[in-house]
Amino acid sequence: MTAEDVTCGGCSLVTRRGFVSQATLAAVAAVLAGCGGGGDGGGSTGPVVTTPPRPPQIPTPLVVTLANFPVLANVGGAARVSSQPLIALARTSAGIVGYSLDCTHAGSPVDIRSNFTLKCPNHGAEFAFDGTWTGGEQRTTSLLRVTVTPNASGTLVTIG
């Protein structure tokens, strides 16, 4: 409350100037909150998608021979293993994981870069090799995981 505000008994009355000042501060705070920015991985400015992305449709299970993708032999490696649907596999310390390469922001195909980080060419969202969103120019969520089942010998995985 400012010196211009008026107090009447147990309640307070706010002058027009005081009301406009407080409303302006609230509007500025709301705009800044909608800009993203703070603490979300650095530089992400776009709005978060409010419609949850849909998981990829896999009409019949995909069987992938891991030997065909040598980068998957090492933890931190990632490779696109299917174009329709667009699916990648990655080797983590816990084993092979799979995820859709359809960007969770607006559905553009995400690129796997030579260092096994991922970036969406559309608005710049960036992801770790395992599909976890890490920041970039667009705030979004991690890429959607798909079910991956390795065979007993670990030479094949079935997706879906």
Interface residue with ligand FES among 122, 132, 134, 158 (CB under 6 A) is 122
Distance of CA 35 to the CA centre of its chain: 16
DSSP H or E stretch at residue 63: strand 62-65
Binding mask 79-108 for ligand FES (x = CB under 6 A): ------------------------x-xx-x
Partners of residue 6 on adjacent β-strands: 13
- Binders of ligand FES among residues 44 to 73 (CB under 6 A) are none
- Binders of ligand FES among residues 128 to 157 (CB under 6 A) are 138
Q: The tokens 């995820």 sit on which residue? A: 99
**Cα distances (Å, whole numbers) of residue 103 to 72, 120, 136:** 22, 7, 13
Stretch touching ligand FES by CB under 6 A, among 53-61, 77-85, 91-99, 123-131: 123-131
Q: Which is nearer to ligand FES, 118 or 148 (CB)?
A: 118
CB of 107 to ligand FES, least distance (A): 6
Distance between first and last Cα of the chain: 61
How many CB atoms sit inside 10 A of residue 49's CB? 16
Residues lying near ligand FES in the complex (CB under 6 A): 103, 105-106, 108, 120, 122-125, 138
